């Protein structure tokens, strides 16, 4: 039985390889991010997605000024959410850390939607990759050039980023900068290693 299953899997893999070769299509590189589709059961997104509490005061961490989690959209897609009613300029973000070898070329993309309750509130995404070296030494943050702002609807943000030679860790950051009541949703994040 095991040999039959192994043989069937080998034949299926060979068939896919031949299909892609015959049609001239290359297989898509694997998404390095875990739980990118935010499957059911990952309601708090504690693993591997982490919500950064770094810039929050103790009062904000315990109060209801900041909310985050995984939400299901009307179309059944799932998204990472950040909602805040903090009345001053700040930034918040989701992140996922991965080991890397330096000088790799990465393509990073995500869909984002920003809404605010007041036209006086300024908000935009701050999405990119940051790199650490040996001993978690800070190297650099490389933001994507495109941003999402209120009124844009769903926007795909994407770009290619080269890791510094000494990088040992890359962190995908899905962030928002804001000055008042804001909600941002992120979905379909993809990080791939490209030639």
Where do the domains of the chain lie?
A: 1-27, 31-194
pLDDT of the residue at 112: 97
Nearest to 47 by CA among 56, 55, 59, 39: 39
The encoded tokens of residue 144 equal 């994507």
pLDDT of the residue at 38: 82
Give the DSSP per-residue string, the chain: -HHHHHHHHHHHHHHHHHHHHHHTPPPPPPP-STTTT--TT-TT--SS-EE--TT--HHHHHSSSEEEEEEE-TTS-EEEEEEE--SS-EEEEEEEEEE--TT-EEEEEEEEEEEES-TT--EEEEEEEEEE-GGG-EEEEEE-S----TTS-SEEEEEEEEPPTT--EEEEEEEEEESSSEEEEEEEEEEEEE-
pTM, rounded to two decimals: 0.81
Give the list of residues 6+ apart from residue 127 with CB closer than 8 angstroms, or none.
Answer: 108, 110, 112, 143, 144, 147, 157, 173, 174, 175, 186
Q: Compute CA distances 131 → 21, 140, 145, 176, 185, whole Å.
A: 35, 6, 17, 19, 24
Q: What is the block-wise mean pLDDT of the chain (195 residues), using blocks of 10 residues?
A: 35 40 64 85 66 79 81 89 84 93 92 92 94 96 96 96 96 93 95 93
Q: How many Cβ atoms from other residues are within 10 Å of residue 87's Cβ?
A: 12
pLDDT of the residue at 193: 94
The encoded tokens of residue 6 equal 């192994």
pLDDT of the residue at 2: 37
pLDDT of the residue at 6: 31
pLDDT of the residue at 4: 38
Side-chain half-sphere exposure of 94, counting CA atoms within 13 A: 28
Q: Determine the CATH number of domain 31-194.
A: 2.60.120.260
pLDDT of the residue at 149: 95
């Amino acid at each position: 039985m095991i040999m039959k299953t192994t043989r069937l899997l080998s034949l299926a893999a060979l068939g896919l390889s031949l299909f892609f070769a015959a049609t001239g299509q290359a297989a898509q590189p694997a998404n390095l991010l875990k739980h990118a589709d935010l499957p059911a059961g990952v309601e708090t997104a504690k693993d591997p997605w982490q919500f950064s509490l770094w810039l929050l005061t103790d009062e904000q961490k315990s109060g209801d000024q900041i909310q985050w989690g995984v939400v299901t959209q009307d179309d059944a897609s799932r998204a990472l959410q950040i909602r805040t009613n903090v009345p001053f300029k700040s930034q918040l973000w989701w992140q996922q850390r991965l080991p890397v070898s330096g000088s790799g070329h990465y393509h990073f993309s995500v869909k984002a939607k920003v809404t605010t309750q007041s036209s006086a509130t300024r908000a935009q995404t701050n999405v990119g990759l940051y790199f650490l070296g040996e001993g978690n030494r800070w190297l650099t943050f490389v933001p994507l050039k495109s941003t999402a702002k209120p009124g844009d609807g769903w926007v795909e943000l994407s770009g290619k980023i080269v890791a510094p030679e000494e990088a040992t860790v890359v962190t995908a950051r899905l962030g928002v900068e804001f000055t008042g009541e804001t909600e941002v949703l992120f979905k379909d994040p993809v990080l791939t290693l490209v030639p």
